[in-house]
Structure 1
Amino acid sequence: MLIVMTTDGDVLLRLAGEIDDLGARLARVGTELRTVQADAAPTPAETPQAPAEQEAPAEQQASAEQQEQKAQPQPVPAQPQQPVYPYPHHAQYQQAQYAHAQAQQRWQQYQQQYRQPYQQYQQPRPPQQPYRPYQPVPKVTLGEKLSKEGVGSRLLAWIGGAVTLLGVVLFLVLAIQRGWFGPLPRVIGGAVLGAALVGIGLRLHRTPAGRTGAFAVAATGIGALYLDAIAATTMYEYLPAYVGLAIGLLIAVGGLLLAVRWKSSLLATAVVLGCVVCAPIITQGFTAELVAFLLVVQVASTPVQLRQSWPSVAVAAGIPPLVASVFSTAFTGFGGSTANTAAALAAGGVGIALALIVTAKRPGDAAALALLAVAPAPSLLAALFLPKTPAVLVTATVALVLLGVWAAGQWLNGWTGDLAGAAGLLAALQTTMTLFDGSARSAILLGEGVLLALVALWTKKHVALFGGLGFAVIGGMIALAFDVPPTLFFLIRNRPDADLAAALLVAVAILAVSITLPWVAHRLGLFKAASENVVPWLLAGVCGLYGAGAMVLCGALLAVPGRSGFLVGHVVITVSWTVAALVLLIRGIAAVSLRVIGFVLVGAAVLKLVLFDLSALDGLARVAAFLLAGLVLLGAGTRYAKLVASR
């Protein structure tokens, strides 16, 4: 009994201490609430002030009430009658609970009135991450990889599978050469062997210790089944082409699904490589049928590429059809064939479609982007061996598809649209080079360069601008070699009017592209002003002067044939340069770049007068060139001096 009383006394003492602590906290909360209320009260300018005689008794009364509250607990107003407890501490505890509830209610009102309206302007700070020093990932050498436990057994198993698959292929070839068995027993035997190997692989995979061998055995069996389907279709012709392709598709899909189920990228890669490497041996070379069977493997690997990010599978399945198509085109030779062209188009189309599907799900996938970049190569190469009309149809089809993908670039992510645009421009270039010849080729190329520059200005795509630069460079080189060669300015020779008209058109295109490309590059922010970056502007100016000079000279020769037209043309060129320099200098009063170009053009005109006109021209033409150019330069200097002085 004494122990029980002692225990109750200890509990009561602890309870009394907690109540005292709670009372002190409530007192602090009350003080804070009164301070907040005093801050929120209206200013003296807005409310009438009470007389000092009335304020003093109120303050004294408030202080007296605070002292009474500290001395004894304040009775709870409008509360139901509290039960009488045998211990006084219970009553104090109930009163403290009520006071705490009142304080919480006042605190919530304070938050709703003052703090919550400002919480919407407070931005939470992100949690600070602890500083972690950069630690480079150590590189694992080949020796360390081979020294790991279990690597030797896996290596032996895969080598054994590859050798076994190659042995099956060699046995089929030898059986054909020696006449062993018959065609049907060979096909049935190959199917039985492949199915048996797959079954052994499934059985070995049940135990963790046998999974290494299970992967190699299953991959060997799937490869044997696929090669058996190829042999039955191409060598023995037991199956039609579409049936053989369908069976091959089922076998490849089954093997890849097994790899996904076992979560092994190595097995998936081995299945693809097993079907790819040995197929040319069965088809006896690179043919259109081989390309078709390799495309079947590529199509079968698409679900795996969408579900798993296995670059090795994408490369192993995507590159072989393109390589086989290239070799098939090379072995076919000039003239081509319908089957080879169809296989090349199919290889490119399937590659582009699968690359777009993968990049739509995983933007920036390196394997898919690489496949998109090289997919048009077989079709463009096959077009080189075809006659003109079929070649133009093939390249134009590829260009339209890729440029359509590029036009839809706003719905594509990453580099997909830019790569498609670059490949499409390459196909368009080949189409232009195949379709046109003579002066029309260079003029069309230069015109396409201007058009692409304007497209770049409209779409803000740098690929279009660089493509326009490529078209302009190629077209300009062709023009310099055939249409407007440098000898046009030095040698007088009789040229047909048709050739002069074509050269005039090419010269106009050179002048247009020389103006358009740098202007668009400057608008897109790739070129700075001429005062800050002189080299590209100077190069563009030289090309523009060349085009303008060729345009004037060809026009003069068309108007006045022979030597007279040649002399008149050079006089007009010299005078036009000086006039252009005058215009640039006047406009360049407030623009440094125009002023620099104007002075450069003045120097070019003077050099032409001294180095060329003085020796090449004679008689009235020489006098006219010097007089007119001198008068223009004199007037330019006088006018320019007045403008500078008036500033």
Structure 2
Amino acid sequence: MTTSSSMFGRDPGVATLARISTEFDAIARQMSTVSAEFAELRRIVENPAAQTGQRSAEQAQASPLTSPTAASAPTPPASPPPMTTPPMTTPPMTMPMAQHPPTAWSSPGRPPNQGSSSYGPPARPVPPLPGPHPVYAPVAQRPSAPRPPRPPARPLSERVAAAAERGLVGKVLATAGVGVTLIGIALLLVLAAQAGVLRPEFRVAGGAVFAVALVSTAIWLRRKSGGRTGAIATAATGIAAGYLDVLAATKIYEWLPVVAGLAVAGAVAAGGLVLAYRWSSEHLGLLVVVPLIVLGPVLTGGLDMTLIAFMIVLAAASAWVQWRRDWIWLHAVRLAAPTIPLTVVGLSALGGTNTAHTGFQFAGATLVVIGLGFAGALVAMPTTRFRAVLAGLASATTVPVLLAGEVMDTAGAVALQAAVAVLVIGITVIFSAVRTERLGPLPDVVAQIWTATSLVVLFVAILVCFDGPVAVSAMLGLATVTSLVARSWSATSLVLLGGSTVIWGIGFAALLDDMPPYVLAQARLVEGNASLSIVIGSLLAGAGAIVIAVGWTRLTAGDLARVAYSAAAVVVVYAVTAISVASGVLIAGPDGFLGGHVVATTCWVVLAGAALALARRRTGSERTAALTGGLVLVAAAMAKLFLFDLATLDGIFRVLVFIVTGLILLGLGAWYARALQSERFPGSSTTTPGTGTPLRPS
């Protein structure tokens, strides 16, 4: 039997090359087929319509129904050339695999657009591909509807005419008439008295008759069709004229005592507001109150307690108008009537005006106005649409209290501010917890506004009561207590925590001003600045920083929590150092400065150990933050030990700080390694060979 090796001259390499050549021939034929198919696909993609038409023409030519000649003489299919076996000779080492580009008719019997290959038989005809998929066909765009042309702006005359149809022009004219008429009445009362025109009795009586006539005319107009606007303006003019007449009889001619004059003025105001309530017109209520606020000081000759008392009576007399009426503008104006004059009194005292004799009256008037503001807000709260606005207006009545320190003595001002703060926070707590049929729970937004108000008043009271480092300690204490309260009062936690953070920041900035960090490194400067207030303030600063950081961590995301913990760690390190050094100086003088730094370095290492211990009890990002903080604090303690303590301390203090710090670090390292081993292998223990003694991993 002849083997392949004998056929090729007994050379196995020649047979292997022959087999490889055959395989390459087959690969070349396959590549030629693929190239032809890609060429056809490209032609279809580039000109799908021509391909579709050509395909239709070929089908029509080949159909027996439309071409009888073709049907009678069918063309036999061209038989492919036979497969030829390459001669069994040594093939060349390089096999050409060149592929001819596709042509229309490469060879007889070959379909169009088929490439030719230099190897093997021609490829089988490829059926024409269909046209593009409907998804990829061009989509007809629906013509967009033309936009309607923008109407031209109406002329000014047409807009004025439309406003007149709505009654706006009539209201504007009526309001202007009210103002002009009231100015005329004021001029009648003031200028006539200065010029001696008519007797005082005729002036006052004429003003009263004129006021009654105007109100009567307004009532008659109200009954007529379309007379509402004129009736409101006329009634407002008559009622304001009555106010001015009463003030003239009380202040200018002094016919009525102040109490009687205020009572009559309150009766006039009540009558005007009765009309406003019956006519359901907030506009009339505003026209009753606003002119009096503007023209009252003209008749009284300026701002005094008589005018303030009258404004308080006006605010009290108009409180009932809010019943079943959500008139927020009238509510704001009647509270502003006494609040603005009281604020002006405080600002005048701040500017240097002597108001010592009005301190008690100022305190009483302020408490009455605050009571009116909060009582009105609580009564209207269940039915109003403006809860936050009502709460803000009630809080605005406490603005004069912030200036009490300029009007009153220190004890009286602090007592007034503390009373107001307790009153506001008490109202907030009680009405947040109490649920009745008429008064439901206080809305959260109202509780937050009033809580912030009480916090501001307390902060101002601290500034009035204390001064210097004592004020710093008081501010830090207030911030710490407030942040603790924020943990239990969920409705106002964010407000309390934000307020405590602001107050703590102000107090800590003042503490840094009294005891800057660089002072702690110089004994002479520490001796001049050290005090018990600094020690207490540093203690409260560190405690407040920790409580505030925990509070923000509970309420916010993790990124802010890490920032809060990092800031708290820095503050605690400063506070510990300030407490140690200041206490040492207060106790032992210059030697206490050295001993204080020994204690400070030791405390830094102890704090680092506490942070590492905390890291063992936490997971995730909290563990990473605590571990990082502990290691950073260890590095800081080592830097302080070698850069500051080694150069500054001497004698026994230098020895102590190195020995104590070294022992703490040794114990800390041993404990941490043991704890880490226990965590990796919980409950694991080994036994010492020959003794049976359990040997725990170190």
> Normalised by the size of structure 1, how large is the TM-score?
0.71
1:355 alignment partner AA? A
Q: How much has 1:379 moved relative to structure 2?
A: 2.6
Q: How much has 1:304 moved relative to structure 2?
A: 1.6
Q: Is the 8 A contact 1:405 1:417 kept in 2?
A: no
Q: Is the 8 A contact 1:363 1:413 kept in 2?
A: no
Q: How much has 1:538 moved relative to structure 2?
A: 0.8
CA distance in 1, matches of 2:457, 2:675: 53
Q: For the structure 1 residues 240 and 559, does the alpha-carbon distance in structure 2 shift closer, same or farther, using more than 3 Å as the test?
A: closer
Structure 1 or 2: more helix by fraction: 1
Question: How many percent identity over aligned positions?
Answer: 33
Correspondence for 1:506: 537
Correspondence for 1:304: 321
Q: Is the 8 A contact 1:322 1:375 kept in 2?
A: yes
Correspondence for 1:29: none
Matched, 1:221 2:231: no
1:139-150 to 2 correspondences below 5 Å: 147-148=162-163, 149=165, 150=167
CA distance in 2, matches of 1:319, 1:611: 63
CA distance in 2, matches of 1:514, 1:540: 5
| Match of residue 387, structure 2, among 365, 384, 387 | 365
Deviates more, 1:596-605 or 1:256-265: 596-605
Q: How much has 1:222 moved relative to structure 2?
A: 0.8
Correspondence for 1:15: none
1:190-269 to 2 correspondences below 5 Å: 190-269=207-286
Correspondence for 1:547: 575
- After superposition, the C-alpha distances for 1:381-410 in whole angstroms (9 at most, x for unaligned) are 133232212222222221221122122132
CA distance in 1, matches of 2:393, 2:580: 49
1:291-330 to 2 correspondences below 5 Å: 291-330=308-347
Correspondence for 1:581: 608
Q: Is the 8 A contact 1:306 1:361 kept in 2?
A: no
Q: For the structure 1 residues 532 and 236, does the alpha-carbon distance in structure 2 shift closer, same or farther, using more than 3 Å as the test?
A: closer
2:501 alignment partner AA? L
1:109-148 to 2 correspondences below 5 Å: 147-148=162-163
Q: How much has 1:634 moved relative to structure 2?
A: 5.2
- After superposition, the C-alpha distances for 1:33-53 in whole angstroms (9 at most, x for unaligned) are xxxxxxxxxxxxxxxxxxxxx
Aligned length: 503
Q: Is the 8 A contact 1:348 1:378 kept in 2?
A: no
CA distance in 1, matches of 2:241, 2:154: 34
Correspondence for 1:464: 496
2:511 alignment partner AA? A
Q: How much has 1:164 moved relative to structure 2?
A: 0.9
| Match of residue 448, structure 2, among 402, 409, 418 | 418
- After superposition, the C-alpha distances for 1:545-572 in whole angstroms (9 at most, x for unaligned) are 111111111232244320x322222222
CA distance in 2, matches of 1:299, 1:359: 18
Listed as ranges, the gaps of 5+ residues in structure 1 are 1-139
| Match of residue 538, structure 1, among 566, 573, 582 | 566
Q: For the structure 1 residues 171 and 614, does the alpha-carbon distance in structure 2 shift closer, same or farther, using more than 3 Å as the test?
A: farther
Matched, 1:400 2:400: no
Q: Is the 8 A contact 1:201 1:213 kept in 2?
A: yes
Deviates more, 1:434-443 or 1:207-216: 434-443
CA distance in 2, matches of 1:141, 1:390: 63
| Match of residue 506, structure 2, among 471, 474, 489 | 474
- After superposition, the C-alpha distances for 1:413-448 in whole angstroms (9 at most, x for unaligned) are 213333222222222222222223343332233222
Correspondence for 2:375: 353
CA distance in 2, matches of 1:410, 1:470: 27
Matched, 1:443 2:487: no
CA distance in 2, matches of 1:398, 1:141: 56
Correspondence for 2:305: 288
Q: Is the 8 A contact 1:380 1:394 kept in 2?
A: no
What's the secondary structure of 1:458's corresponding residue? coil
Q: Is the 8 A contact 2:585 2:592 kept in 1?
A: yes
1:445 alignment partner AA? M
Q: Is the 8 A contact 2:410 2:464 kept in 1?
A: yes
| Match of residue 376, structure 1, among 398, 401, 409 | 398
Q: How much has 1:219 moved relative to structure 2?
A: 0.8
CA distance in 2, matches of 1:472, 1:632: 33
Q: For the structure 1 residues 559 and 342, does the alpha-carbon distance in structure 2 shift closer, same or farther, using more than 3 Å as the test?
A: closer
Q: For the structure 1 residues 532 and 447, does the alpha-carbon distance in structure 2 shift closer, same or farther, using more than 3 Å as the test?
A: closer
| Match of residue 589, structure 2, among 547, 561, 576 | 561
Q: For the structure 1 residues 145 and 603, does the alpha-carbon distance in structure 2 shift closer, same or farther, using more than 3 Å as the test?
A: farther
Q: For the structure 1 residues 259 and 175, does the alpha-carbon distance in structure 2 shift closer, same or farther, using more than 3 Å as the test?
A: same
- After superposition, the C-alpha distances for 1:338-372 in whole angstroms (9 at most, x for unaligned) are 43443333333322332333225537534421211
Q: How much has 1:172 moved relative to structure 2?
A: 1.4
Q: Is the 8 A contact 1:345 1:378 kept in 2?
A: no
- After superposition, the C-alpha distances for 1:157-196 in whole angstroms (9 at most, x for unaligned) are 2211211111111221211221222222221111111111
CA distance in 2, matches of 1:508, 1:446: 9
Q: Is the 8 A contact 1:287 1:340 kept in 2?
A: no
Correspondence for 1:169: 186
Q: How much has 1:516 moved relative to structure 2?
A: 2.2
CA distance in 2, matches of 1:375, 1:459: 25
1:377 alignment partner AA? V
CA distance in 1, matches of 2:555, 2:597: 35
Matched, 1:427 2:427: no
1:149-160 to 2 correspondences below 5 Å: 149=165, 150-160=167-177
What's the secondary structure of 2:254's corresponding residue? coil
What's the secondary structure of 1:378's corresponding residue? helix
Q: How much has 1:459 moved relative to structure 2?
A: 3.0
CA distance in 2, matches of 1:388, 1:589: 52
Q: How much has 1:224 moved relative to structure 2?
A: 0.7
1:480 alignment partner AA? L
CA distance in 2, matches of 1:376, 1:305: 21
What's the secondary structure of 1:278's corresponding residue? helix
What's the secondary structure of 1:239's corresponding residue? coil
CA distance in 1, matches of 2:655, 2:423: 59
Matched, 1:188 2:205: yes
CA distance in 2, matches of 1:521, 1:353: 34
CA distance in 1, matches of 2:154, 2:676: 72
What's the secondary structure of 1:413's corresponding residue? coil
Q: For the structure 1 residues 623 and 588, does the alpha-carbon distance in structure 2 shift closer, same or farther, using more than 3 Å as the test?
A: same
CA distance in 2, matches of 1:325, 1:299: 16
Deviates more, 1:608-617 or 1:503-512: 608-617
Q: Is the 8 A contact 1:511 1:543 kept in 2?
A: yes
Q: Is the 8 A contact 2:527 2:585 kept in 1?
A: no
| Match of residue 598, structure 1, among 592, 612, 630 | 630
2:365 alignment partner AA? A
1:174 alignment partner AA? L
Q: Is the 8 A contact 2:641 2:658 kept in 1?
A: yes
Correspondence for 1:28: none
1:455 alignment partner AA? V
CA distance in 1, matches of 2:674, 2:452: 52
2:215 alignment partner AA? V
What's the secondary structure of 1:285's corresponding residue? coil
- After superposition, the C-alpha distances for 1:22-74 in whole angstroms (9 at most, x for unaligned) are xxxxxxxxxxxxxxxxxxxxxxxxxxxxxxxxxxxxxxxxxxxxxxxxxxxxx
CA distance in 1, matches of 2:398, 2:486: 23
Q: For the structure 1 residues 611 and 156, does the alpha-carbon distance in structure 2 shift closer, same or farther, using more than 3 Å as the test?
A: farther
| Match of residue 391, structure 1, among 410, 413, 435 | 413
Q: Is the 8 A contact 1:446 1:476 kept in 2?
A: yes
What's the secondary structure of 1:597's corresponding residue? helix
